[in-house]
Structure 1
Amino acid sequence: MKIVKYDSLEKLSGVNFDARKLLTSKKLEIVLISLESGEVVKKHSTPFDAIFFISKGKGVVELSDEKINVNENDMIYCDKNVEHGITNNSNDRLNVLVIKLLK
């Protein structure tokens, strides 16, 4: 068993929002993204499938040209190489658990 304390993790560099790796293994990586009101993860694509779980708050997830309103406890699956982004358009914090499915 391993316990990970969020506050003890370093913030990821190179991004303009709070993101911290909770776990990395050969098959997956788990990152918690925390967006304050108005913060955005710009649209981008990745070479792996990903799952986005909204653990707190609400916002908008963009997949290709589609904008999807998301709420706490919603989950979205994103295929590899599909452009995606996240926007916190609310007044409260938006926490998104990102599960990267590595192969």
Structure 2
Amino acid sequence: MSPTVAVILALAVGTYAFRLVGPVLHGRVAVPARLQELLSTGAVVLLVALLATGALTDSGGFAGWARPAGVLAGAALAWRRAPFAVVVLGAAATTALLRAAGVA
């Protein structure tokens, strides 16, 4: 067996075990309320960091002003509780219009 196949099998078994732990331990382990709050906060912080990285950088450098403006437009539409399709199309249209106007 090649090392690549061994790594893939190990990752597959680890993924399956990780997913199996939730249903198996569901009623047996009590997580304190403070830890639940910290985990929720950590998930939000991670998602915001991913959003910021994706919105502001491209190939290790600044993505230009059009992309962050599009993300900001999408965030404003989402905050106003627009439907998801409207949020995506509004963000894409904002970015496209700014790029067409020469804003990099």
The TM-score range, normalised by the shorter chain, is: under 0.3
Q: Which has the higher contact order (CA 8 A, sep 6+)?
A: 1
Tell me the TM-score normalized by structure 2.
0.21
Select the structure that is richer in helix.
2
Select the structure that is richer in strand.
1
Q: Which has the larger radius of gyration?
A: 2
